[in-house]
A and B are shown apart, each in its own frame.
Chain A
């Protein structure tokens, strides 16, 4: 089974801090994604990457950046955390090809105070 592991389940940070969310997958998938999930808004795509060192903006990239130095690892960076970035963050990976299923991690619940 594919495993997508997010480094923290819960995280509490202060406004203005730089925050790193880490995601590792063990299936050699080319594609990796970061979403955030908020009540009433569903899942929204922040960034995705289809290869090492490649990145593409999703629907809501403002305030975030990403890093993909190795194929198995995709990091989401909040340059200066703000309270409106309090959310559930979900990482996913998939092989290439149309319709390839996404495999999600269990999420990191980030609270910015």
Chain B
């Protein structure tokens, strides 16, 4: 399994963009890069995932480095509701493979 490095914590101001970095230098060629977040007192929530190209959805954008050894989750305008722990998870799972390894993630605080 690829090892990930994320900052323990980050702070942002409301309505400003947030860039959450993740290093995954040992990622294999077939691993997707998944991002989940966990709000206080809730289960993790899927945010976005990608393989090689940058990806956008209604929640966020995912920028993947050309060598795939790092990625950045971009929240375009942070809201108070975005305060959560964000997990970057490289992996290639599906079907009968269920092992999604959640590390410690980055705790994002959003100031009004």
Contacts and interface: CB of A to CB of B under 8 A. Distances in A.
Contacts, number: 66
Contacts of A106: 41-43
Contacts of A105: 43
Interface centre among A4, A59, A98 (most CB of B within 10 A): A98
Contact of A99 (B32, B43, B102, B103): B32
A90 B99 CA distance: 14
Contact of A42 (B43, B49, B103): B103
A96 interface: yes
Interface size class of A (residues with CB under 8 A): 20 to 34
Interface in B65-101: 92-96, 98-101
Contact of A45 (B32, B45, B49, B98): B98
Q: Which 10 A-B pairs have the closest CB atoms?
A: A104-B43, A98-B94, A101-B46, A48-B98, A43-B102, A50-B96, A99-B32, A42-B102, A97-B94, A96-B95
19 contacts: A31-B95, A31-B98, A40-B104, A42-B101, A45-B98, A45-B99, A45-B100, A56-B98, A58-B99, A94-B94, A97-B94, A97-B95, A98-B93, A98-B95, A99-B51, A102-B46, A102-B100, A103-B46, A107-B41
